Structure 1
Amino acid sequence: MKKIMDKFSWKFFLFIGIAIILTNIPFIGNYVRLINTVIHESGHALMALIGGKVHKISLFMNTEGVTYTSHNGWFSGFYTGIAGYVFSSMIAFLSFWLISRKKYKPLIVILLIFIGLNLVFWVRNFYGLFWLISFGALFILLLLKGSSTFVQNCLLLIASILLVESITSSFTILLLSFTQPFYAGDATGLAKATAFIPAQVWGIFFFVQAIAFLYAGFKTGAFRIEN
């Protein structure tokens, strides 16, 4: 047990707890949770660019998002469908990994790149633009004015929200794939693209990959945050 706990820190558990509470507060919760939606939809968009086109992304106040794409072939659509949840889990892991190594500025820059790409090229609905501008401004202030401790704590909160949301959203899609397989988002889309693989299998895949990135964070010591 001690060896397992050595892979974590009290800060990890503290900020995970704060993230869980914060994301369940009305209005504020939806606002901060949208960071995961942006990463998720950006994953779809970036993969679509490899063999297709991104028309637009819409971000909504209820934390939902939609990426409108077209593709030159089956493989492009297939990998675009997979990318959202995998991208969310990967960025959550990367965020903790960078924080654990005190690489705060690179993480802020990465997040600003996501916001900038969406703001310039993809998002056009009012709430989406409001969110990108307001959240982007906060990151710029962190980059220019924040003290090391304040920046670390803010990024820990963002990383914790990303981790919590990557796991809970993938678990939600897993449940939906069994209870409402025709309305299970990306799992349903992939089931249609691969007629021989049902939505339930894709739901399991999305949840397993989220747990795999959680395990990777544990194994690499990414959750061991020093002051």
Structure 2
Amino acid sequence: MNTIKEKFSWTFILFIIIAIILTNIPILGSYFRVINTVIHESGHAFIALFGGKVHEISLFMNTEGVTYTSHSSWFGGFFTGGAGYVFSSFMAFLSFWLISKKKYKLLITIYLFFIGFNLLFWVRNFYGVFWLITFGAGFLFILFKGSSKIVQNLLLLIASVLLVESIASSYIILYLSFIQPHAAGDATGLYRATHFIPAQVWGILFFVQAIFFTLIGFKTNSFKIE
């Protein structure tokens, strides 16, 4: 039987603490947090492509984002509305899993794919384009010029930011679904799509799935970094 010590990673805890501190620094913190916004909005967009159309994505300095889509069926709109938080949580898990397998170049390539796809096809507002170009340039630099240690540490930081933000943003939606059920983002959108399942239920489900992916990460030792 694995001991708690064997499953526990002080490196993981350290980077989570750094990510929490970083994301609360004015301006700089918001800049790094937008990576979660990109993943979240991309989740909406990629699902919308199955039978629908993505018109535009906007990314904002306050870390908010909006995806404008149209759908040929109710199911398309429903699954698109629920994809953002699940996609963010899954990407946080996948990032740590790839890091634990030392698949650094593959992970950077995945991040660059999201950035490049958004830049070429969807994002058109000024801050969104600025963020994609500058963050993408940073990934390209560490891909070709960064040492193995630098690459690992930076990817650990990005993955930690994704994990922290996936949990924090889903908790905020959970909270808003109870105090402002008519203005709770995707939870409200899904309530309007279903009419009979209240925003509070969707808020709970968004938060539960974020915790689920975190627990799966611990169970599979994805968060154990050597």
Residue matched to 1:179: 179
Pairwise CA distance, 1:5: 3.6
Residue matched to 2:77: 77
Unaligned runs of 5+ in 2: none
Unaligned runs of 5+ in 1: none
SS at match of 1:95: helix
**Alignment-mate amino acid for residue 119 of structure 1:** L
Q: Deviations over 1:50-104 (max 9, x none)?
A: 0100000000000000000000000000000010000000000000000011010
Residue matched to 1:209: 209
Residue matched to 2:27: 27
Residue matched to 2:7: 7
Residue matched to 1:97: 97
Q: Deviations over 1:187-220 (max 9, x none)?
A: 0000000111000000000000000000110011
Distance 1:169 1:28 in 2: 18
Paired residues, number: 225
Query: Aligned residues: percent identity?
Result: 74
Distance 1:8 1:151 in 2: 22
C-alpha contact 1:174 1:200 (8 A) present in aligned 2: yes
**Alignment-mate amino acid for residue 9 of structure 2:** S
Residue matched to 1:132: 132
CA RMSD of aligned residues (A): 0.8
2:102 counterpart of 1:110: no
TM-score normalised per structure 1: 0.98
Distance 1:5 1:177 in 2: 38
2:51 counterpart of 1:51: yes
Residue matched to 2:60: 60
Residue matched to 2:198: 198
Residue matched to 1:141: 141
TM-score normalised per structure 2: 0.98
Distance 2:166 2:5 in 1: 22
Residue matched to 2:221: 221
Distance 2:134 2:70 in 1: 29
